[in-house]
Amino acid sequence: MTTLHLVTDSSSEPRVTLAHGNGGRHMRALIEDVFARHLSNPLLDIQADAVTLPDHHDGELVFTSDGVTVQPLFFPGGDIGSLAVHGSVNDLAVSGATPRYLSINSFLEEGLPLTHLERIVTSLAQAARDCGVQVVTGDTKVLPHGQGGGLYFGVSAIGVKPRGLRLGCTRIQAGDAILVSGPVGDHGIAVMLAREQFGIRGEVRSDSASVVPLTQSLLDIPGLRFMRDPTRGGLATVLCEIHRATGLGITVKESHIPIRPAVQSVCDMLGYDPLYLACEGRVVAVIDAAQADEALARWRVLPGGAEAQRFGRIDGNVDRVLLVNDWGGERVLQELEDDPLPRIC
């Protein structure tokens, strides 16, 4: 004879169950109570299978897609909800586009406390409002317990870009300056400290934010060549990508790269290189050297741009990505063989 022990949560907190994903009443209730309530806007129709978007005669459509996972779901400076918005909005922003619409697919793990879900969706909605984007469609699935890290998002985003604006690696030329809008590595360290529950978590906050104001502020500078948000793999990986795509060398002044002392000291301690850690609210821009100061000046008066720096240049005389220290020592930044902080993005 077997006794079945029903596992009950001591706090009897409402949680996501498999029933929330079965297409029935529970699911409808969840979508209405949590998603629709926070995300409501004129285009979002939770009954419809597809959304019709208005015409956009003012520019070209730009479309991007992103999968969002992070552990823990909440971390200093943000959570997976705000991260989902910022990640895809920033991908559009660095291409020169103004983000307009989001699609959110939620993969909920059975057992996720509904209060957590609500906090996340609230945060997502707030981030979307701040960025001026509307969540116009979405879907919800529930994964059995143990098959998801609490919650994943699949996000697609559409933006509108001025006609004729061409940014990209092909425009990069030797001599161009390279700028970064703020300190690097904050997000990577903040999430890692939160995930590992280090005692010092309060000191470093994720930089998770929209970079739309930063990218928009440079669009009318004719010498702007290329922008990228240094997420997974960090600043170093962006530089390696530029090098690979253009075949041009890059020289970077180590002391000109903004890094917060707290981030640097945690990295020193744990043996991580902040140049390879993810940012979620920074922009790297390659720009004609003659217009670099103008770009920096514009960034520095914007929120999130106060610590912008010009830190490197496209260098026709070298054939790799070189990091030069104050004594003239030179180190090569390589593409990562292995992820130093796996699963952070």
Partner 1 sequence: VPHLVEQRHNHATARMNNTTAQNAAQAEAIGAYRWILSGRVQGVGFRPFVYRLATQLGLTGTVSNRGGCVVIEAQGSVESLAQFETALLREAPAIATPTILDCAPISLNESLCERGFVIEISTNAESSAPHVTPDYPVCEQCLAEMHDSGNRRYRYPFITCTQCGPRYTLIERLPYDRPNTGMAEFSLCPQCSTEYSDPGDRRFHAQPIACPHCGPQLQFVGRGHAPLIGNEASLAAAVDALAQGRIVAVKGIGGYHLMVDATNTTAIERLRQRKHRPHKPFAVMFPWQGTDGCDAVREHAELSAVEKDALTSAERPVVLITHRKPQTLPICLAPGLKQLGALLPYSPLHHLLLDALDRPLVATSANLSGEPVIIDNAVAEQRLADVADAFLHHDRPILRPEDDGVVRHIARRARPLRLGRGSAPLEMTLPFHLTHPVLTLGGQQKNTLCLAWKNRIVISPHLGDLHQHRAQKNFEHHARALPSLYGVEPSLLIADAHPDYHTTRWAKAINNPTPRRMPGSSGLNSLDSGIHRDDEQAIDVHFVHHHHAHASALCGEHSRFEHDTLVFTWDGTGLGPDGSLWGGEALFGRPGQWRRVASFRPFPLLGGDRAIREPWRMAAALCWETRNDWQPLSVPKEIYSLLHQAWQRKLNSPPCTAIGRLFDAAAALLGLVDVATYDAQAPMLLENIAEGEGRAVPLPHAVDEAGVLRCDWQPLLRHLLDERQNVEQRVADFHRTLAQTLLVQAEYARDKTGVRTIGLSGGVFQNRRLTETVVDELTQAGFEVLMHERIPCNDAGLSYGQLMHCLPLLQKSERQ
Helix axes of 80-93 and 114-131: crossing angle, nearest 10 degrees: 30
Give the whole-angstrom CA distance, residue 316 versus residue 173: 9
151-162 β-sheet, strand order: 59-68, 151-162, 98-109, 134-143
Q: Are 333 and 321 in contact (CB under 8 A)?
A: yes
Q: Are 274 and 264 in contact (CB under 8 A)?
A: yes
Backbone angles phi, psi at 55, to 5 degrees: -65, 150
| Shortest Cβ 5–partner 1 spacing (Å) | 31
Q: Identify which of residues 193 and 295 has a Cβ nearer to partner 1 in the complex.
A: 193
CA-CA-CA-CA torsion for 150, 66, 208, 46, nearest 10 degrees? Answer: -70
The reply on whether position 329 binds partner 1 by CB under 8 A is yes
Q: Identify which of residues 274 and 304 has a Cβ nearer to partner 1 in the complex.
A: 274
Distances (CA, A) of 31 to 16, 82, 165: 12, 19, 39
Picking from 44, 118, 133, the residue whose alpha carbon sits closest to that of residue 79 is 118
Q: Identify which of residues 301 and 332 has a Cβ nearer to partner 1 in the complex.
A: 332
Judged by CB under 8 A, the residue of 89, 277, 322, 345 near partner 1 is 322
Q: Identify which of residues 100 and 243 has a Cβ nearer to partner 1 in the complex.
A: 243
The reply on whether position 255 binds partner 1 by CB under 8 A is no
The reply on whether position 246 binds partner 1 by CB under 8 A is yes
The reply on whether position 9 binds partner 1 by CB under 8 A is no
Q: Identify which of residues 7 and 269 has a Cβ nearer to partner 1 in the complex.
A: 269
Neighbours of 200 (CB within 10 A): 10
Binding map of partner 1 across residues 194-233, x = CB under 8 A, - = no contact: --x-xxx---------------------------------
From 44-52, 133-141, 153-161, 193-201, span contacting partner 1 (CB under 8 A): 193-201
Q: Identify which of residues 118 and 335 has a Cβ nearer to partner 1 in the complex.
A: 335
Give the whole-angstrom CA distance, residue 102 versus residue 83: 13
Which amino acid is present at 110?
A: E
The reply on whether position 164 binds partner 1 by CB under 8 A is no
The reply on whether position 343 binds partner 1 by CB under 8 A is no
Judged by CB under 8 A, the residue of 25, 37, 244, 343 near partner 1 is 244
Give the whole-angstrom CA distance, residue 321 versus residue 280: 23
From 110-118, 183-191, 227-235, 328-336, span contacting partner 1 (CB under 8 A): 328-336
List residues binding partner 1 (CB under 8 A): 170, 174, 192, 196, 198-200, 244-249, 265-266, 268-272, 316, 318-320, 322, 327-332, 334, 337-338, 340
